[in-house]
Amino acid sequence: MRVAFTMKIFPGCADEYKRRHDALWPQLEELLKQHGITEYSIFLDDATNILFATLQIEDAALLDELPKHTVMQQWWAYMKDIMETNADNSPVVTPLKEVFYLP
């Protein structure tokens, strides 16, 4: 299934956000793949600092398992200074509903 959501970075943090993702931790990449995540893309709207993310996953319920892993918690702590986050350092995420798909 396809999943899409938005997040938001702080003004002036776009280059740093990209730099950190260009150097994605191998253990985080492996965790995402172990949970069946593929085709993960994040796009930035420079005018609003809103990130638009899409991914494919066999079972969306597996996304609920990610916060239990130390590497995920460490990544969130690493990213909290450049993006909007919740009290547990997870990014503020707005899920999006698919309304059209052309395969």
Q: Which domains does the chain have, with CATH numbers?
A: 2-96 (3.30.70.100)
Name the pTM for this structure.
0.93
Backbone angles phi, psi at 56, to 5 degrees: -115, 145
pLDDT of residue 60: 87
pLDDT of residue 53: 98
**Distance in angstroms (rounded) separating the CA atoms of residues 71 and 10:** 23
Catalytic residue among 21, 27, 77, 88: 21
Show the tokens assigned to 73. Answer: 């918690």
Residue stretches of the chain with pLDDT short of 50: none
The CA dihedral of 76, 77, 81, 82, to the nearest 10 degrees, is -20
Is residue 69 annotated as a catalytic residue, yes or no?
no
